[in-house]
């Protein structure tokens, strides 16, 4: 670790960085201001007019009300949650089991399987979409059970593509658990199942939390999987937002309001759990 | 309300069924004789994942490669056509510009993102702890924004109104204030300017990611190596380039590769901003367009195979890197 006190604070650095930070914030602030301005005002002047002439402004939340009532946005919000929550919890469960197996159990082909998983870290999603879609369709033809268009279709695909990173992060974490702890539990007669649930899983909570946040944001923000496997039947937020963008084009406030509604959850997650999020990023740096 | 109820039902059922599968598998192997149990048990732990990955990642990817050499008839049957799909794709008039665009994305975005992230991380390191935390949050925040929302945000920046009208897009407002004529930025193909404007969005989204990782690396550089440099009379920039940079190099490479992969697969931004028009299309966008809009399975699969081919070197690098890392452990 470095010694903090030896670091001098620099006024120049602060100035440069602050200017950069303002530039970084401007796009989002512009959107926020646009979404709460009175409709004709927003079409007539740029959003920075609010800062230049703060007193002559008209504000309203009408675009939020209208985007919720006139479009599928409210429904999409629920769809997004219904896709995202299981698509976060399920891979967590799968990956935790597998990471335990890779860390604490010995079996034939362990190295091979793990190398395979590392290789799959970067495999493009696009390569799998069409055959999986065809597989779901032929499954429905044979059994009559609908998968495509249901939330579950997206859960499967999201879970599968989350596996490499999740296993990688969790295994790295589990490797820091002292082996003596596991051995002691074994000597006491605990089965692997018990050791996993009672010992390893509780210790791994920080890593689980990091990955959960990562996965939650990834699924919430995903467009492609939701478009291909769920589509218009239960449109998620990104889907609805993109069609709003297509309908109204630029400069339309409903799109701005809708965008902010879809941003609200990620921002909430980000600001409340920032520390875990950053820890997770650092752990998965190799992806 | 009914939507909420169905959604809730699906969520609970999905999670319960998965948990039950593991529970039953465990129950099952505990009935086996000890010797066999020891052999089978690891596969209870990793088996479901292998099935999941095999079924939804590996098998379909191989299938996509096979389909790239097939032609699909109306009735759903397929026939072998060799490299015809690839020839068709290469013959498209967008092909050359698509390839150049993809190369530009991977040449420009990773290097700028890492450099910017590094600069911010280094600057943030000497502004004092409280300011550092706030400023870093600002740079990091876009990482939580979806590509689609980012597209909405940036449409307002690049918005255009005809001359005489009030410019509500920031770019055009600045441009006209400087005496220029309002521009439809996305249609400017000279020097691939419209592509670069799209790249700015990805850089905006991912610089914070680079900053977080590089900042962690900078902070773990041992103080005595810096002190040694100072004692020897090295300047600040010398200390950074000769002492700090070599020590954080592995992190910089890891971040570079992550952003590189993101740039290779870029899709949502292009889709939401231009739809690939005005010569801004990229491989992943071509796949989307050919399959979902035009229904050309063969050509779409050929585009996917090119994408996979581009990523294979990175994949090989990852596995090798992991092996080395593991050997050192």
* pLDDT given for residue A115 in this prediction: 92
Residue A105, burial from CB neighbour count under 10 angstroms (0-12, 13-18, 19+): middle
Ramachandran region, residue A23 (left: φ > 0; alpha: ψ -120 to 50; beta: rest): alpha
Residues A112 and A104: beta-carbon distance below 8 Å: no
Buried b (16+ CB within 10 A) or exposed e, B59-77: ebbebbbebbbbbbeeeee
Ramachandran region, residue B191 (left: φ > 0; alpha: ψ -120 to 50; beta: rest): left
Model confidence over B144-176: pLDDT tens digits?
Answer: 899 999 998 998 899 888 887 788 888 888 998
* pLDDT given for residue A249 in this prediction: 57
Tell me, yes or no, whether A51 and A77 share the same domain. Answer: no
From A230's Cα to the closest Cα of chain B, the distance in A is 13
Tell me, yes or no, whether A160 and A26 share the same domain. Answer: no
Tell me, yes or no, whether A264 and A171 share the same domain. Answer: yes
Rounded Cα gap, residues B150 and A141, in angstroms: 39
CB A192 to CB B45 under 8 A?
yes
Tell me, yes or no, whether A200 and A90 share the same domain. Answer: yes
Q: Report yes or no: A113 at the B interface, CB cutoff 8 Å.
A: yes
Rounded Cα gap, residues B194 and B186, in angstroms: 5
Model confidence over A111-146: pLDDT tens digits?
Answer: 999 999 999 988 999 999 999 999 999 999 999 888
CB B148 to CB A101 under 8 A?
no
Q: Which residues of B touch A105 (CB under 8 A)?
A: 41-42, 45
Number of domains chain A is built from: 2
Instruction: For residues B40-45, give the mean pLDDT.
Output: 91
And the tokens for B239? 């200390």
Tell me, yes or no, whether A193 and A210 share the same domain. Answer: yes
Domain boundary among A60, A75, A106: A60
* pLDDT given for residue A283 in this prediction: 64
CB A21 to CB B139 under 8 A?
yes
When the pLDDT of each residue in chain B is averaged and rounded to a whole number, the result is: 91
* pLDDT given for residue B91 in this prediction: 94
* A·B CB contacts under 8 A: 323
Model confidence over B92-133: pLDDT tens digits?
Answer: 999 999 999 999 999 999 999 999 999 999 999 888 888 998
Tell me, yes or no, whether A8 and A88 share the same domain. Answer: no
Buried b (16+ CB within 10 A) or exposed e, A193-228: bebbbebbbeebeebbbbbbbbbbbbbbbbbbbbbb
Helix (H, G, I), strand (E, B) or coil at B72: strand
Asked whether the predicted pLDDT for residue B56 surpasses 90, the reply is yes
Structural domain boundaries, residue A44 = 4-60
* pLDDT given for residue A60 in this prediction: 80
Domain ranges of chain B: 2-67, 95-280
| Closest chain A residue by Cα to residue B317 | A119
Domain boundary among A60, A82, A101: A60
Rounded Cα gap, residues B18 and A237, in angstroms: 26
Q: Which residues of B touch A258 (CB under 8 A)?
A: 152
Buried b (16+ CB within 10 A) or exposed e, A43-79: bebbbebbeeeeeeeeeeeebbebbbeebbbebbbbb
Backbone angles phi, psi at A134, to 5 degrees: -65, -40
Interface predicted TM-score (ipTM) of this complex, two decimals: 0.90
CB A282 to CB B212 under 8 A?
yes
Tell me, yes or no, whether A25 and A83 share the same domain. Answer: no
| Angle CA A210–A213–A218, to nearest 5 | 125
Residues 137-166 of A with CB under 8 A from B: 150-152, 155-157, 159-161, 163-164
* pLDDT given for residue B183 in this prediction: 87
* pLDDT given for residue B312 in this prediction: 93
| Closest chain B residue by Cα to residue A19 | B135
pTM, two decimal places: 0.91
* pLDDT given for residue A46 in this prediction: 82
Q: Which residue stretches of chain A have pLDDT < 70? A: 1-8, 248-251, 283-287
Residues A173 and A283: beta-carbon distance below 8 Å: yes
Query: What dotted CATH number matches B95-280?
Result: 1.10.3720.10
**For chain B, what percent of residues have pLDDT higher than 70?**
99
- Find, among B249, B310, B300, the residue nearest to B99 by Cα: B310
- Find, among A153, A154, A78, A240, the residue nearest to B5 by Cα: A78
Model confidence over B263-317: pLDDT tens digits?
Answer: 999 999 999 999 888 999 999 999 999 999 998 999 999 999 999 999 999 999 9
* pLDDT given for residue A113 in this prediction: 94
* pLDDT given for residue A4 in this prediction: 43
Helix (H, G, I), strand (E, B) or coil at A230: coil
* pLDDT given for residue B329 in this prediction: 67
Q: How confident is the model at residue B201 (pLDDT cuts 50, 70, 90)?
A: very high
Find the radius of gyration of the CA atoms of chain A: 24
Q: What is the CATH number of the domain that holds A263?
A: 1.10.3720.10
Model confidence over B15-37: pLDDT tens digits?
Answer: 898 889 888 988 888 888 888 88
- Give the largest Cα separation in chain B, rounded: 85
CB A131 to CB B64 under 8 A?
yes
* pLDDT given for residue A6 in this prediction: 42
* pLDDT given for residue A248 in this prediction: 66
Tell me, yes or no, whether A92 and A206 share the same domain. Answer: yes
Rounded Cα gap, residues B291 and B300, in angstroms: 5
* pLDDT given for residue A284 in this prediction: 56
Tell me, yes or no, whether A56 and A71 share the same domain. Answer: no
Of the candidates B144, B255, B314, the beta carbon closest to that of A270 is on: B144
């Amino acid at each position: 670790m470095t010694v903090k006190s030896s670091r001098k604070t620099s006024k120049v650095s602060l100035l440069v960085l602050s200017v950069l930070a303002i530039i970084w914030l401007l796009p989002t602030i512009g959107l926020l201001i646009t979404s709460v301005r009175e409709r004709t005002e927003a079409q007539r002047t740029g959003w920075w007019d609010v800062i230049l002439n703060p007193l002559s402004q008209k504000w309203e939340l009408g675009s939020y009300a209208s985007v919720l009532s006139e479009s599928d946005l409210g429904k999409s919000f629920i769809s997004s949650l219904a896709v995202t929550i299981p698509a976060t919890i399920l891979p967590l469960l799968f990956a935790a089991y597998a990471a335990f197996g890779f860390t604490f159990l010995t079996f034939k082909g362990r190295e091979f399987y793990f190398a395979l998983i590392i290789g799959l870290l970067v495999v493009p999603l696009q390569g799998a979409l069409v055959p999986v879609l065809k597989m779901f369709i032929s499954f429905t033809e044979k059994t009559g059970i609908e998968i495509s268009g249901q939330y579950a279709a997206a859960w499967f695909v999201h879970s599968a593509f989350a596996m490499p990173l999740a296993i990688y992060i969790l295994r790295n974490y589990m490797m820091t658990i002292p082996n003596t702890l596991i051995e002691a539990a074994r000597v006491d007669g605990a089965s692997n199942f018990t050791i996993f649930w009672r010992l390893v899983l509780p210790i791994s909570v920080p890593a689980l939390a990091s990955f959960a946040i990562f996965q939650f944001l990834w699924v919430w923000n995903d467009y492609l999987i939701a478009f291909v496997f769920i589509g218009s039947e239960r449109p998620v937020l990104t889907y609805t937002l993109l069609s709003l963008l297509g309908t109204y084009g630029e400069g339309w406030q409903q799109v701005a309001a809708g965008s902010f509604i879809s941003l609200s959850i990620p921002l909430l997650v980000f600001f409340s759990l920032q520390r875990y999020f950053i820890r997770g990023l650092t752990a998965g740096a190799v992806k | 309300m009914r939507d909420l109820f169905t959604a809730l039902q699906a969520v609970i059922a999905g999670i319960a069924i998965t948990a039950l599968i593991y529970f039953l598998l465990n129950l099952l192997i505990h009935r086996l004789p000890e010797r066999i149990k020891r052999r089978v048990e690891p596969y209870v732990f990793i088996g479901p994942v292998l099935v999941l990955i095999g079924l939804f990642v590996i098998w379909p990817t191989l299938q996509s490669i096979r389909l790239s050499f097939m032609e699909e008839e109306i009735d759903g049957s397929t026939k072998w056509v060799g490299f015809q799909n690839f020839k068709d794709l290469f013959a498209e008039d967008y092909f050359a510009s698509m390839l150049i665009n993809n190369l530009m994305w991977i040449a420009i975005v990773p290097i700028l993102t890492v450099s910017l992230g590094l600069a911010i991380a280094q600057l943030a390191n000497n502004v004092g702890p409280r300011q550092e935390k706030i400023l870093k949050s600002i740079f990091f925040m876009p990482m939580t924004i979806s590509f689609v929302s980012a597209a909405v945000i940036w449409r307002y920046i690049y918005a255009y109104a005809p001359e005489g009208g009030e410019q509500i897009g920031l770019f055009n407002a600045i441009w006209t204030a400087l005496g220029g004529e309002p521009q439809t930025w996305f249609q400017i193909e000279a020097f691939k300017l419209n592509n670069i404007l799209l790249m700015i969005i990805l850089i905006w989204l991912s610089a914070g990611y680079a900053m977080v990782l590089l900042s962690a690396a900078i902070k773990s550089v041992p103080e005595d190596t810096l002190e040694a440099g100072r004692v020897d009379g090295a300047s600040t920039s010398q200390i950074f380039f000769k002492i700090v940079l070599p020590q954080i190099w592995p992190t910089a490479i890891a971040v570079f590769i992550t952003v590189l992969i993101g740039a290779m697969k870029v899709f949502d931004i292009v889709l939401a901003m231009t739809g690939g028009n005005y010569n801004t299309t990229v491989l992943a966008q071509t796949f989307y367009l050919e399959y979902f809009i035009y229904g050309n399975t063969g050509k779409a699969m050929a585009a996917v195979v090119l994408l996979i081919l581009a990523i294979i070197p990175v994949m090989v690098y990852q596995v090798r890197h992991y092996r080395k890392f593991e050997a050192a452990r």
